[in-house]
A and B are shown apart, each in its own frame.
Chain A
Amino acid sequence: MLGEFEYLLITAAAGLGDNAYGAAIREHIASTTGRKCSIGALYTTIERLETKGLLETWMGDATPQRGGRAKRMVRVTGKGVRAAKDFFDAVTRVSRGASWVIPTRTGSRT
């Protein structure tokens, strides 16, 4: 099963579609989860997922906004979509029936 960050990355890449590349995925994860995503975590996870066959990457076009440097484009494979869906289903199943009421100090043990 996928790890939490792997799931976030695949979902972000799937959401961005043809515009999925390093900086865009980082920005997407940071803005939706409020969590900063380091370059190291991003690229090592992309590589790991690519090795597992869950992602495909290739070097895209360079843009002036990036100082003329190429993007590493990312696409989620069919296997990646299935893995993300399995993860989501598992999280949904395990969350069913969970109480999200924050226990108070006095009532937490009863």
Chain B
Amino acid sequence: MTRADWALINYVSRLLKPDEREAVLGDLLEAGDNAWQGFLGILGLVFRREALLWKNWRPWLAGFGVAFPSSFLLMGASLSVSWSYMRLLCPELLQQASLTRPSATLVLLCQGLLLIGWSWTGGFMVGSLSRRTLWASSLLCYSPCLFCLSRFRVASLSPLCLFLFLLPAIWGVRQGLRIPGIKFSTAIVLAVAVTLLMLPQWNSADQHWWTAPRWTLNWLLIWPAWYLVAMARKSPTTAVRTSTNN
């Protein structure tokens, strides 16, 4: 093998775990495989490893059940928070919505807390369910973001307003990866709080029949919170350790 071949194989082998990489590179050298065989061999191993992970239901649930649909809805929620903030700054908008400043502040507070709660619980669920397939869940979350960003045409708002949910979501993912689990009491408090916060949003003055379907869809965002409750209840001592291998 030439230096360039070896550099390529070395680079691809970084996709493997350190111990496995050591053994595989040693095997390739010992067997005297050529660069192409070595390259294909390592790619084959990486592909098989990845395919094995997807035999489990957890990465599917994290990616297609939470990350992908939630990112669409959370972008909508981020925009709602941004609008509420704008309304608070502009007295004319406040008057149009026939809201007083304290009630508009309360709406903004509820929406903000709700956004944090939805994003954090969704992120936590994704983090704990798809440890080794997090790259796929991230792609499934970011692709709707790019789609919406390319079609964002609201002059009065910055496109960054779409991504208010990302910070608490990333925080949730990090916690999901780090923390061994959530206690049942914490999980239930979180789920009940998120559910209760949704009620005034549903009945708030600015909800009309044409916004109702969107808010109905938003109820989908609370299922990660209740999933965490169910998992914490399933194993109260170890709390939520939904997956260690995925």
Decide yes or no whether A5 CB sits under 8 A from chain B: no
| Other A-B pairs, 8, CB within 8 Å; known A43-B45, A69-B29 | A22-B23, A39-B42, A39-B45, A40-B41, A40-B46, A41-B44, A66-B30, A69-B22
In the complex, what's the smallest C-beta–C-beta distance from A28 to chain B, in angstroms?
12
In the complex, what's the smallest C-beta–C-beta distance from B162 to chain A, in angstroms?
41
How many A residues touch B, CB cutoff 8 Å?
21
Give chain A's interface residues, CB within 8 Å of chain B.
21-23, 26-27, 38-41, 43-44, 59, 62-63, 65-67, 69-72
Give chain B's interface residues, CB within 8 Å of chain A.
19-20, 22-31, 40-42, 44-49, 52
Q: Does B26 lie within 8 Å of A38, measured CB to CB?
A: no
Q: Does A44 lie within 8 Å of B52, measured CB to CB?
A: yes
Q: How far is the CA of A71 from the CA of B30 in the complex (A)?
A: 10
Q: How far is the CA of A72 from the CA of B52 in the complex (A)?
A: 21
Q: How far is the CA of A26 from the CA of B26 in the complex (A)?
A: 13
- Residues of A contacting B52 in the complex (Cβ-Cβ under 8 angstroms): 44
Q: Does A65 lie within 8 Å of B22, measured CB to CB?
A: no
Q: Does B47 lie within 8 Å of A65, measured CB to CB?
A: no
From A38, A44, A71, B23 is in contact (CB under 8 Å) with A71
Residue in A closest to B41 when the chains form the complex, CB atoms:
A39
- Residues of B contacting A21 in the complex (Cβ-Cβ under 8 angstroms): 23, 27
* Contacts A38-B44, A39-B44, A40-B48 given; does A23 touch B26 at CB 8 Å: yes
Q: Does B24 lie within 8 Å of A67, measured CB to CB?
A: no
- Residues of A contacting B49 in the complex (Cβ-Cβ under 8 angstroms): 44
From B20, B26, B41, B46, A66 is in contact (CB under 8 Å) with B26
Q: Does B26 lie within 8 Å of A67, measured CB to CB?
A: yes
From A27, A43, A59, B24 is in contact (CB under 8 Å) with A43
- Residues of A contacting B23 in the complex (Cβ-Cβ under 8 angstroms): 21-22, 43, 59, 69-72
